[in-house]
Structure 1
Amino acid sequence: MFRAGLTCTSVAVACLLWATVTAAYEHSFQRWSGKKFWNQPDYTRLELASFEAASFKPVGNLNALTDTFTLLGHPAFPKYSVRIKQSDFCDGTVAAYTGYIDVEARHLFFYFFESRSDPDRDDVIFWTNGGPGGSSSMGLFMELGPCRVVNSTSVVYNKASWNANANIFFIDQPVDVGFSYAEHGEYVSTTEEAAKDIAAFVSIFFEHFSSFKGRALHMAGESYGGRYIPLFSSAIYDQNIELVKAGLTPINLTSAIIGTNGVTNRFTQITSYYDMQCTPASVEPITDISTCTRMKQAIPRCQKLMETSCIAGFDPIGCDEAIEVCRMEIQDPYWKSGMNVYDISKKCEGSLEETHCYPITKLIQQYLSQPHIRQKLGVDPSIPLDKPLSSHNVGLAFAGTLDGLHPSDLYVAALLERGVDVLIYAGTYDWICNWVGNERWTLALDWSGKEEFVSQSLREWKVNGEVAGMTRSAKGFTFATIDGAGHMVPYDKPWESLEMVNRWLKNRQL
């Protein structure tokens, strides 16, 4: 959704990569020409290596870890290992850990914080930011983590952190994002490939620390997390079958949380830009009548082109045309407005390329560039101090495989059919991944609970007696809006988002 010439370097926020898809078109066409588009990598075929049970020695308890790296492995996953260490920072009241998931020559950085309530019993949340190419350090230091950056050298305690009642991971993935790196230029270019790494890591971690066995796991993410989380969750669910066969403990995958305006269905999202700009869906219309009229007239053509070339079947040239028509007619008017693409109620602060409309993103980069902070975290010394936390290369690689055009809502339906609850939440002020488009795909989702879900009217949900947003729910599937929040809901509405998550963890209605 970025115009030609704009770099897609968003680290905490959505970067819907339509322009990047167009820029990578030639590579994409060559890759997919003559192949069936849906012949994607199959992450479900996760064959665990055979092993003797006596050969595995678990660490047993997180307390056994020190401020130097401990190496974790498992014979069932011979290509994977985990380096993890204590890293006393950020929260100050609970134990914190950092480390790397080592996949041969690829290395994914992660943070882990224990719960402030009952770390030995509380659920586990696995969080990833979007992009593709966005570092989860933004989710940590700007949104839902235990501390927030206030300037280039310091942080403050975040009372509204999601680790109030949950243990939580933040991960820089795929490789080349944030502090993650590859030794010889290796890269990941599809969500299916990334899902394998996440599923293996979760199993290794839970096997080593016995107190987590059987503990509820909630996979969560924002923005392009709307693509990541359905597939990551599905990979973990399907891997459980192999774990049981190998005599290992299956992961108690309890829910998937797709939030801060995820992108799960591209094609319902596109036409919703008209609603956000030309109707009072969130704020009073901001685009002039003449332009809105042209946008409205373009919607049927846009929908027809996408249905024919992108959805019913995939034609690289035709889908490229559809995307370009939709961008030009329905998205460009907003880009020309100068408004914040992540919050329709305000102007962009700074340039989009430098601050992503939020100056705090530069402070996070500067804070994490301090040598003593990197040493405390255990960041690999090969990573330059000036390396951007976001990765434009990852965005290009994913665009090159047209990853963002693959269906993700079907995975949501499959998870629901298997008893995995799903929460979709969206800030009402976001434009780029707005609530209108998110609601549309949830209502259109084909699953056994569709009739009951669609029959529910949106109702208010409240925090401390005040309306926080609207919601509908049926059979484990919940959609919710958060009033007055932009793309990064926990940044704009920290207490409302925390209350929402706490209710979800307790299996309560919003």
Structure 2
Amino acid sequence: MQAPFTQDQQLPAALTAVDGQTVSTFSNPDYPGYSARVKQLRDFCDNQSRSYSGYIDLEARHLFFYFFESRSLPEEDPVLLWLTGGPGCSSSLSAFMEMGPCNIHDAKGPAYNSYSWNTKTNLIFLDQPIGTGFSYAEHGEQVTRTEDGAEDIVNFVSMFFETFSQFKGRPFHIAGSSYGGRYIPVYASAIYDANRLAAAQGRTPINLQSILLGNGITDSSSMASTYYDMSCTNASLPPALPISTCVRMKQALPRCRTWIKAACDDHFDDISCNAAHQFCRDKLEAPFIGTGRNIYDMSQPCNGTIAETICYPLTKEISKWLDRSDVRDVLGVSEYPYNFTMCSPKVFSRFRSTLDMHRGSKTYVSELLERGIRVLVYVGNYDWTCNWLGNLAWTNTLQWAQGEEFAAKQLGEWTVDGHRAGLTKTAGSLTFATVDQAGHMASSSSSRRR
């Protein structure tokens, strides 16, 4: 295990004032109306690296983040921004249940996670859009569409690198899961485009290198027609539904595909597209959900309800822990006036009202690939709701320079320590991979240990 960091490691002059007792505030004349509030997390859960929490304040919008420096070589390792999905789910979910430096397994609080992604990267967890987790806004400001949230992300990333200036120019990657498959291609495209203005103004561009989409919902049209296969064939596990139910589902499948293609893909019509997806949900999704199985891991029952615990009661324990006054004092969010909500129903409803989830992001992926940005699409093969068949389908239909080459390739095994870990294929800058025996949280340490 690496020795704990030493306090005399070199920091930018501004950050030397940041400590674990008070919140330090930073501003930059190049970003009028924007500022950063930062607190160092001493003895928070991991003494192998420096860690921080804070807010990037974008006028009336306040985006909360955790930042965990690399346990290896923070002065050389890349920077990775992680976004959890929902829409409206806090990145605390991933920080404390998946790949963060500490996981919470029970009411006792955080425990060291040796599989954390900050073993080799400087890792940011961000609560977004506003209204998610500890992020908030004044004056009733809201975000209701992914494209509208992109400006906040560009400004957040820019202010982050101004505040933590020792990381400027470092290779930068954006990763996320679930609805992150919708967010990330849009946000990465906005960052790429904003680099032109940054360069013209003499600022250091964001060194965007890749995006990683884990169990994403990048193209809901492709996903909608895969629920029959996931429920009624041996795609991942033996069929979960009775033959009579599967017959009815198979009969509804052609109409689902045709209706979504006409109303959502060929020409987007709000009313008809919404009706098409509702038809597909009723005919193809509802039967499996009704079994009581975990839609995020078909091999397990749903513990609790999807609405209250997303099938994982541990989310309640994490929320209770984050609501403790002593924890809030440590994080610098003691003035946040609301109870912590792991997944905000208000944010979800706002995005649903604009049909944002039916407006796919795969065209953004194509454009990023054309510009040399690497893309990894990875999926736990036990995930039902954002499954591997749907993600394979949309990656196979991407229109880009090497799209035909990618589509023509067959899946082959990839291995870890000589053992099969899943299926994969690559062409150019695009890689698709499944993770055997993993569910929706394929990035979690439990997936690594299976």
Q: TM-score if structure 2 supplies the norm length? A: 0.94
Instruction: Report the counterpart of residue 235 of structure 2 in structure 1.
Output: 281
- The amino acid of 1:136's aligned partner reads S
- The amino acid of 2:442's aligned partner reads V
Instruction: Report the counterpart of residue 343 of structure 1 in structure 2.
Output: 297
Instruction: Report the counterpart of residue 287 of structure 2 in structure 1.
Output: 333
CA contact (8 A) 2:259 2:276 kept: yes
Q: Which shows bigger deviation, 90-99 or 114-123?
A: 90-99
Instruction: Report the counterpart of residue 223 of structure 1 in structure 2.
Output: 178
Instruction: Report the counterpart of residue 113 of structure 2 in structure 1.
Output: 158
Following TM superposition, by how much is the alpha carbon of 1:491 offset from its aligned partner in structure 2, in angstroms? 2.8
CA contact (8 A) 2:198 2:204 kept: yes
> Structure 1 residue 484 and structure 2 residue 429: aligned?
no
CA contact (8 A) 1:295 1:329 kept: yes
Q: Which whole-Å deviations, capped at 9, do the CAs of 1:217-264 have from their partners, x for residues lacking one?
A: 0001100000111011111100000000100111110000110x1000
Q: Which whole-Å deviations, capped at 9, do the CAs of 1:197-216 have from their partners, x for residues lacking one?
A: 11112122223434212210
Following TM superposition, by how much is the alpha carbon of 1:63 offset from its aligned partner in structure 2, in angstroms? 4.4
Map 1:420-431 → 2, pairs under 5 A? 420-431=373-384
2:15 and 2:376 mapped to 1: Cα distance? 30
- Which of 308, 311, 317 is equivalent to 1:363? 317
Instruction: Report the counterpart of residue 336 of structure 2 in structure 1.
Output: 382
1:404 and 1:73 mapped to 2: Cα distance? 35
Give the alignment's Cα RMSD to 1 decimal. 1.7
> Structure 1 residue 113 and structure 2 residue 68: aligned?
yes
1:351 and 1:403 mapped to 2: Cα distance? 24
What SS does structure 2 have at the residue aligned with 1:368? helix
Closer, same or farther in 2 for the Cα pair 1:342/1:349, shift >3 Å? same
Map 1:294-305 → 2, pairs under 5 A? 294-305=248-259
> Structure 1 residue 354 and structure 2 residue 308: aligned?
yes
- The amino acid of 1:428's aligned partner reads N
Could you tell me which runs of 5 or more consecutive residues in structure 1 were left unpaired when the two chains were aligned: 1-57, 498-510
Instruction: Report the counterpart of residue 98 of structure 1 in structure 2.
Output: 53
1:430 and 1:65 mapped to 2: Cα distance? 41
> Structure 1 residue 193 and structure 2 residue 167: aligned?
no
- Which of 77, 81, 84 is equivalent to 1:122? 77
What SS does structure 1 have at the residue aligned with 2:194? helix
Instruction: Report the counterpart of residue 3 of structure 1 in structure 2.
Output: none
What SS does structure 1 have at the residue aligned with 2:263? helix
1:209 and 1:146 mapped to 2: Cα distance? 20
1:79 and 1:458 mapped to 2: Cα distance? 50
Q: Which whole-Å deviations, capped at 9, do the CAs of 1:274-304 have from their partners, x for residues lacking one?
A: 1101110000011111211121121111111
Q: TM-score if structure 1 supplies the norm length? A: 0.83
CA contact (8 A) 1:107 1:181 kept: yes
- The amino acid of 2:359's aligned partner reads H
> Structure 1 residue 410 and structure 2 residue 363: aligned?
yes
Q: Which whole-Å deviations, capped at 9, do the CAs of 1:168-207 have from their partners, x for residues lacking one?
A: 0001111111111223322111112211111112122223
Following TM superposition, by how much is the alpha carbon of 1:362 offset from its aligned partner in structure 2, in angstroms? 1.0
Instruction: Report the counterpart of residue 461 of structure 1 in structure 2.
Output: 414
- How many residue pairs get matched? 438
What SS does structure 1 have at the residue aligned with 2:437? coil
Following TM superposition, by how much is the alpha carbon of 1:317 offset from its aligned partner in structure 2, in angstroms? 2.2
Map 1:29-48 → 2, pairs under 5 A? none
2:75 and 2:447 mapped to 1: Cα distance? 25
2:418 and 2:337 mapped to 1: Cα distance? 48
What SS does structure 2 have at the residue aligned with 1:151? coil
Q: Which shows bigger deviation, 375-384 or 168-177?
A: 375-384
CA contact (8 A) 2:222 2:390 kept: yes
Closer, same or farther in 2 for the Cα pair 1:218/1:237, shift >3 Å? same
Instruction: Report the counterpart of residue 386 of structure 2 in structure 1.
Output: 433
Closer, same or farther in 2 for the Cα pair 1:359/1:437, shift >3 Å? same
Q: Which whole-Å deviations, capped at 9, do the CAs of 1:125-171 have from their partners, x for residues lacking one?
A: 10010000100001000000000112224211000000000000001
1:200 and 1:308 mapped to 2: Cα distance? 37
Q: Which whole-Å deviations, capped at 9, do the CAs of 1:326-350 have from their partners, x for residues lacking one?
A: 1111111112111111111121112
2:13 and 2:374 mapped to 1: Cα distance? 29
Instruction: Report the counterpart of residue 271 of structure 1 in structure 2.
Output: 225
Following TM superposition, by how much is the alpha carbon of 1:487 offset from its aligned partner in structure 2, in angstroms? 0.5
1:124 and 1:159 mapped to 2: Cα distance? 19
2:316 and 2:165 mapped to 1: Cα distance? 39
Q: Which shows bigger deviation, 276-285 or 350-359?
A: 350-359
- Which of 131, 135, 139 is equivalent to 2:86? 131
- The amino acid of 2:204's aligned partner reads T
Instruction: Report the counterpart of residue 508 of structure 1 in structure 2.
Output: none
> Structure 1 residue 315 and structure 2 residue 315: aligned?
no
What SS does structure 2 have at the residue aligned with 1:490? coil
1:492 and 1:486 mapped to 2: Cα distance? 12
Matched-pair identity in %: 49
> Structure 1 residue 373 and structure 2 residue 359: aligned?
no
1:174 and 1:315 mapped to 2: Cα distance? 25
Closer, same or farther in 2 for the Cα pair 1:327/1:209, shift >3 Å? closer
